[in-house]
Amino acid sequence: ELECSLTGTWVNDLGSNMTIETVKGNGEFTGIYNTAVSVYPVKIKKSPLLGSQHLPDQLNQPTFGFTVNWSFSDSITVFTGQCFVDNDGKEVLKTMWLLRSHADERGDDWKATRVGYNKFKRLE
C-alpha cells in the first residue's frame, strides 16, 4: 500500500486494535475498533469508527481524525493525530483522544471528558 494510507489493521500501546477499510478518494474511511480496555469492567464489544485523513500522495506523513461510537456504552471517543514513517520504514500513528462519557446531569458535565494519547503500529 501507499505509505500512511490508514487502510489495514493497527494495534496500540494498550493492546487495542482497529481495522480500517479502504480509504476513499476524498480521504474518508470506516472501520471497526476493538478496545482492550474500558473505564468500567463491562463486556467489551467491537465498535464502529468513522474518520478521514489527508491523502499521502499529496502530503507525506498526513494528519487524520476518527470517531469511535462505543457500542457497549453511552460514550464516544474522538482520536486525532498524524502518521509518521520511522527510520526503518515502519509507520507509526501518534494520536491524542478525547473520551466523552454520558453524564447523568449537567452538574456532572465537568468530569465527563477524559483525554489521553495512543501510539499505533501496523499489525504485521
Ligand X SMILES: O=C(CCCC[C@@H]1SC[C@@H]2NC(=O)N[C@@H]21)NCCc1cc([N+](=O)[O-])ccc1O
Residues near ligand X (CB under 6 A), total: 21
Q: Cβ 94 to ligand X, closest distance in Å?
A: 13
Q: Cβ 116 to ligand X, closest distance in Å?
A: 6
- Phi/psi at 106 (5° precision): -55, -35
Piece of the chain touching ligand X by CB under 6 A; list 3-11, 51-59, 66-74, 84-92: 66-74
Residues 7, 19, 30, 38: which binds ligand X (CB under 6 A)? Answer: 38
Site for ligand X in 46-65 (CB under 6 A): none
Catalogue the long-range contacts made by 41-49 (C-beta closer than 8 Å, 24 or more residues apart).
42/72, 42/73, 43/72, 44/72, 45/71, 45/72, 46/71, 47/71, 47/72, 49/18, 49/20
C-alpha dihedral (41, 47, 52, 56), degrees to nearest 10: 90
Residues in contact with ligand X, shown as a per-residue x/- string from 99 to 118 under the rule CB under 6 A:
x-xx-------------x-x
d(CA 120, CA 96): 11
Q: Cβ 60 to ligand X, closest distance in Å?
A: 26
DSSP for residue 30: E
Q: Cβ 29 to ligand X, closest distance in Å?
A: 17
Q: Would you tell me which residues interact with ligand X (CB under 6 A)? A: 12, 14, 16, 35, 37-40, 42, 70, 72-75, 77, 97, 99, 101-102, 116, 118
